[in-house]
Amino acid sequence: MRSGLIAALLSGLGLVVGSFLNVVIYRLPHGASVAWPASHCTSCRRPLRWYENVPIVSWIALRGRCRTCHARISVQYPLVEAATAALFLAAYYAFGLTPLLPVRLAFACAMIVLFAIDLEHQILPNEITLPGIVIGLALSIFLPPGWKSSMLGMLVGGLFPFLIAEIYLRVRGREGMGMGDFKMLAMVGAFLGWPLVWVTLILACVLGIVIGGGVLLLSRRGMATRIPFGTFIAVAALVCAYAEPSVIRWYQHAVQAYLAWAGLAS
């Protein structure tokens, strides 16, 4: 009973936090304050009443349109709220009521914001990634993965992809990854440590090739079209954060299998 109550409360908290994340996702790329003014219709600018701001329920009740000007309200709003609630609930079952729980919740919120902003605007705001690096390193002094793993994860996440991208730029003459991707990976490394940041990068690349490449082929866009890589980093980082034991076991087995294959090949 107590466990179910806590799960329900965290899910409700996730809905409320998700509503705020929608504000951040919309305003941050435009350089607007996330605290003022109060929530309003982005078309007619009318301030919203409290009953128009109830997570998910209001969007359904309003049928996805503003009550005054009838402008469409993006489906992104209920999706972000539902995703945040689901991640809050999953975090409770993954980490329990431990000091690591609020850290992983904050990390999940950052990943949701970066996912959505990069998907729409193809930018990864410094306001999220740079403080995230510092916070991840600071928290690692007291909590997993420990400051050494966090520091190594930050360096691997930020510097290794940068070197690969620099080589790609010099060989191909065009940019393969943006600076925002390096900062985001450094943040992931600071929070998750080594080797999870490495697995995050591998998984993000696989997702980018399979999903991003598939979308480009279906849309018949050129392969030079920029793929919002931060969206795939966010998904991969959340998988690694929430399923760490399974991910670590998979990584160890993959390394052992590769070493065995390399030994046979030689």
pLDDT tens, position by position, 149-196: 999 999 999 887 777 777 766 776 666 567 889 999 999 999 999 989
Taking CA atoms, 239 is separated from 73, 192, 245, in Å, by 29, 11, 11
Q: Which of 86, 137, 80 is nearest to 113 (CA)?
A: 80
- Last residue of one domain, picked from the residues 76, 97, 118: 97
232 and 118 in a single domain? The answer is: yes
177 and 260 in a single domain? The answer is: yes
On the 0-12 / 13-18 / 19+ scale of CB atoms within 10 A, 195 is buried
Q: What is the pTM of this model?
A: 0.90
For 83-124, the pLDDT digits (tens) are 999 999 999 999 999 999 999 999 999 999 999 999 999 999
- Last residue of one domain, picked from the residues 68, 97, 126: 97
Phi-psi group of 199: left, alpha or beta (phi > 0 → left; psi -120 to 50 → alpha; rest → beta):
alpha
Q: Which residue has the higher pLDDT, 174 or 40?
A: 40
pLDDT score, position 217: 62
> Which secondary-structure segment (H or E) carries 147?
helix 147-172
Token output for 262? 């390399």
Our measurement of the distance from residue 222's CA atom to the centroid of its chain's CA atoms, rounded to an integer in Å, reads: 26
238 and 222 in a single domain? The answer is: yes
Domain count, the chain: 2
Q: Which domain holds residue 137?
A: 99-266
Cβ atoms 28, 113 nearer than 8 A? yes
